[in-house]
Amino acid sequence: MIVDIHTHTFPDTIAAHAINTLKNSSGMMPATDGTIDGLIASMKEQGIDYSVILPIVTKPSQLETINRVAIETNEKYESDHIISFGSIHPDNTSYRQVCRQLAANGVKGIKLHPVFQGIPFDDIRYMRIVEAACYYNLTILVHGGYDASFPGVKLVTHKEIENVLRDVRPVNMIMAHMGAWGFWEDIIPLLSEYKIMMDTSFALTVPTPTGNDTDVLTGAKKERLDYRKLTNEMFCKMVRLAGAQNVFFGSDSPWNRQDVSADAIRQTSLTDRECDLILGLNAKRLLKIN
């Protein structure tokens, strides 16, 4: 079984615009059209059994719509093995009620993105959300490290992550991008001190660059990250420090092909058992997939 715990889609009416905007800001070429149908086609073509969609509430006013769509998506696409998380913005003061309602409606988790939401991860508002989500047995998947669309922004580094781990001690929080994209050396010491769950997105594979480093509106040259990725040795070291049972496969579709991302894990020095855990068995256990 292969479960991709880190994917993104957009409503059909805005998918093309959203993909083009993100393509321009990040310099990444998408591997799908960004729709749910595009994701399902990718899964069928590339041998993925389940995909988890991670919506992001980028401003508080979006909360109700995004979470309603998440519930509807789970109902409509259950037979296609699509699972949608919900999301909460730190400025949504109703976070506890939202967590309760999501859990009551069968939503399995929430996505938090400090960079897109513009607030450091160790802000007390995030800590309260993480606490509430844990109380209602929701999985919390958090963007970790840099983001290609916001070069140089440091809102969820090893420092912020450690503060949350120390003060909240979450039991079901997954840090995306093997803890924190671009801060892997700094994450290493935390793996021995805390239980940290991580996903593999943007760790071993990086998207195809668009080749366009010029802002289409201003004509100015844009700062780019170097699309960094982990070596086989560093990836395996991190997996074994965290424990293979705490690492989850993620592609970050539509920005990476799902099959290429899965094959990259199989091509490391991990054992077959470790690969099986990461590629699907861990997510099957955590998300209670039959």
Q: Encode pLDDT of 182-236 as tens digits.
A: 999 999 999 999 999 999 999 999 876 665 554 434 444 444 545 578 999 999 9
Contact present, 39 and 256 (Cβ < 8 Å): no
- What are the tens digits of pLDDT across the range 132-146? 999 999 999 999 999
- pLDDT tens across 53-96, in order? 999 999 999 999 999 999 999 999 999 999 999 999 999 999 99
Query: Which range (11-15, 158-162, 207-211, 281-285) has the least confidence?
Result: 207-211
Q: What are phi and psi of 220, to 5 degrees?
A: -80, 150
pLDDT at 151: 85
Do the Cβ atoms of 239 and 274 come closer than 8 Å?
Answer: yes
- On whether the CB atoms of residues 235 and 178 are closer than 8 A, the answer is yes
pLDDT value at position 216? 39
- Predicted local confidence at residue 175, as pLDDT: 98
CATH class for domain 3-286? Answer: alpha beta
pTM to 2 decimal places: 0.93
